[in-house]
Structure 1
Amino acid sequence: MSQVTSSRFVRLMAAGAAGVVAVAVFPAASAQAGTGSFAVSVKGGYNNTQSLGTATGTVTGTTGSTQASYSVTLCGESTYPSSTVTIRGGTATATHTVYYQNCETFSGDLVSSYGFANAEITVSGSTFYPGNQYTTYTKTKTAYF
């Protein structure tokens, strides 16, 4: 009986050692980059019915990483003189502007001093309507990757 127990113990130890080797050969799966889409439109003026700017795009990054990339198309609409988009992730900020009714596409990287998992996109535009009072309106959304 002692020899049966001993050979089972040896086989069990050998199987355990093989498992440790398999874990060392196959590293843990790394985190995959994700992409978050966004569409942000700002309205203002009388009863917030005047379109002032729209930003559409994507933010791509890995949750907890200190860097993400973005691509955004910003279109000014009935804004004066410009529409602006600001993209914030962690401590990083990128701002782009178009004038009047133009559309432009911008891309770049957000590099933060600490890891982050989302980006906040803010679009702003201004108008003199109503009452010839210059007013800036903003709209913000969050994109998760």
Structure 2
Amino acid sequence: MKKFLVLNGPNLNMLGKREPKIYGKQSLEVLEENLKKLENSFQVVIDPFQSNHEGVLIDKLHSAMNEYDGIILNPGAFTHYSYAIRDAIASIDVPVIEVHISNVHAREEFRHKSVTAPVTAGQIVGFGLFGYELAVKALAEYINRGE
């Protein structure tokens, strides 16, 4: 069975509390529970992890090479300026799908550019927490096709 890391960056621990009109009313815990329900449907094991610290996220990406078949990453604000996270993604041989809950392209201009997206297999934006489910499906398909 394939194993996926779902890696959430800064402030995503505040889901359900932080700007619910943008990020929704469901908590990170509810998101993680819902993702675990997808395991049988997609024949994967989903391992969620969240950190507000750049170095911790980088260490998790590095260690993923030996543990995971794919990664679903919401880098939060690091999306727009963390060349360190970008380089960590580029340094591993594990496909990464970048996910954003809101449509970052329809928001403030500083959110329009992702420094991490160019080194990922793809990006899903604007579908709320459903974007994570789309990412599980996309990652499973991506890996099964051997891309």
What TM-score comes out, normalization by structure 2 length? Answer: 0.25
Query: When you count strand as a share of all residues, which structure comes out higher?
Result: 1
Larger radius of gyration: 1
What TM-score comes out, normalization by structure 1 length? Answer: 0.25
Query: When you count helix as a share of all residues, which structure comes out higher?
Result: 2
